[in-house]
Every structure is written in structure tokens, then in C-alpha cells.
Homo-oligomer: A and B are copies of this chain.
């Protein structure tokens, strides 16, 4: 994750936890490490920021350079600065969490990088650096934001059925939700509106497609 050690002052990096939901599973994007002492362990894509770029710009650039992914949503988690967090030098990392809809995943999975993979969050263990801690923070922040904002719009195509949206919430929260209560609350909230289209071709009654009313959710603070 980091190349330059041995400054008198700490250097600044970003690491980004990018999530998607696919087939009812919450996935995050990892890069497999080569360097000791983290050989063959997974880490989030990260790198050093440049002196002429904002923090979110750095996070986006590094994510694109290392994985080809362009996130739909990006929000800061905070700074991670334990002295011993990086064995290669004194690095303070500003962590971000990001989202991408599961219909734009091809970009990432078709990347040439050998060591990139979307991994089920619940199976991601023994990560490099302090990334297990980052993942825990990212996950709880995701759980918090999914309930209070429209960030789910960054995890789904622009049109979706209410059941698809419910599956996203369930994957993130980690437990089943009641269908009638979920729909009631969602429709009351005024965040989504029905289109006049339906999802057909499945062995079920056609489901109405909905869309979020404001296309792009705003980060609470995306510094």
C-alpha cells in the first residue's frame, strides 16, 4: 500500500472500502498483497495522496488506478493513525467508504490485476494493516447511512423493484426485514417513486419498477 518510508514526518495515504451488493451478499473489493509481512493477505486499495489533490480526489484516483472502479458514492470514515499500523513507515491513512451498483461491476472484475477480488464481507478475515478495523468502521457507517439517507441508490441500477431494494437493506443489515413494514415505511418516506414500467420475464407477477427521487445522494461530509 505504501512505498515511501523514513520521513521525519508522517506521510498521508488513503484507503477505500468499496462495497456492492450482489445476490443478497455484501461484497467489498480487495487487493492481494505481495510484500512481506502481509504476503497473500487482503488489503483495501490505497496509496499516497499527492500534494495538489483533495482527499476525495486522491481516493478516487487511487481506486481507479488500482482497480479500474469509479465509485457512485464516496464518504469519509476518518483518519487511522496508529504509529505501528504500517510496517513500512509512518503513514496516516484517511479511510473512505464507497459504493457501486452491481450492474457496473464488470469494470472491476474485468481488470487485469491478478490480485483483485470482490469478497463477501463476512468472509473477509485477517486483513493486512489495520484494515480489519477499517472494515468494521465502514460496515457500521454503511449500516447507519443506509437507514437515514438515499445511498441505496448507489447500490442499485436507476430502476429497481422494492424487493430488490429490500434485499440490499437486508444484506447490509444482516437480517431479514418484514416486507409490508419495509414497503410502508419506504413509500411514506417519499424517497422513491414508481415508474410506469414493470419487471417482466420472471416466473412471478410483474413487479413495479421504482426510482429514487433525487438521483445522487449527498454525502454528509465528503472531505
Pick 17 A–B contacts, CB within 8 A, sort by A.
A7-B9, A7-B51, A9-B12, A9-B48, A10-B11, A10-B12, A10-B49, A10-B51, A12-B92, A55-B81, A55-B92, A78-B78, A78-B221, A79-B79, A81-B94, A92-B94, A137-B221
Interface digits, A57-96 against B, CB 8 Å rule (1 contact, 0 not)? 0000000000000000000111111110000001010100
Q: Is there a chain B Cβ closer than 8 Å to A8's Cβ? A: yes
Q: Do most interface residues of chain A lie in helix, strand or loop, or is the interface mixed? A: loop
Q: Is there a chain B Cβ closer than 8 Å to A112's Cβ? A: no
Judging by beta carbons under 8 Å apart, are B81 and A54 in contact?
Answer: yes
CB distance from A214 to the nearest CB of B (A): 21
Please report the C-alpha to C-alpha distance between residue A201 and residue B9 in the assembled complex, in whole angstroms: 55
Judging by beta carbons under 8 Å apart, are B55 and A79 in contact?
Answer: yes
Q: Is there a chain B Cβ closer than 8 Å to A178's Cβ? A: no
Q: Is there a chain B Cβ closer than 8 Å to A223's Cβ? A: yes
Please report the C-alpha to C-alpha distance between residue A79 and residue B79 in the assembled complex, in whole angstroms: 6
Judging by beta carbons under 8 Å apart, are A79 and B10 in contact?
Answer: no
| Nearest B residue to A90, CB-CB | B51
Please report the C-alpha to C-alpha distance between residue A8 and residue B11 in the assembled complex, in whole angstroms: 10
Please report the C-alpha to C-alpha distance between residue A81 and residue B10 in the assembled complex, in whole angstroms: 15
Please report the C-alpha to C-alpha distance between residue A177 and residue B13 in the assembled complex, in whole angstroms: 44
Question: Which residues of chain B are within 8 angstroms of A9 by Cβ–Cβ distance?
Answer: 4, 7, 11-12, 48-51
The verdict on A8 contacting B51 (CB below 8 Å), with A76-B78, A79-B78 known, is yes
Judging by beta carbons under 8 Å apart, are B7 and A223 in contact?
Answer: no
CB distance from A89 to the nearest CB of B (A): 9
Question: Which residues of chain B are within 8 angstroms of A83 by Cβ–Cβ distance?
Answer: 52-54
Judging by beta carbons under 8 Å apart, are B55 and A223 in contact?
Answer: no
Judging by beta carbons under 8 Å apart, are B94 and A79 in contact?
Answer: yes
Please report the C-alpha to C-alpha distance between residue A48 and residue B81 in the assembled complex, in whole angstroms: 13
CB distance from A90 to the nearest CB of B (A): 4
Please report the C-alpha to C-alpha distance between residue A53 and residue B8 in the assembled complex, in whole angstroms: 12
Please report the C-alpha to C-alpha distance between residue A51 and residue B40 in the assembled complex, in whole angstroms: 28
Question: Which residues of chain B are within 8 angstroms of A10 by Cβ–Cβ distance?
Answer: 11-12, 49, 51
Question: Which residues of chain B are within 8 angstroms of A53 by Cβ–Cβ distance?
Answer: 83
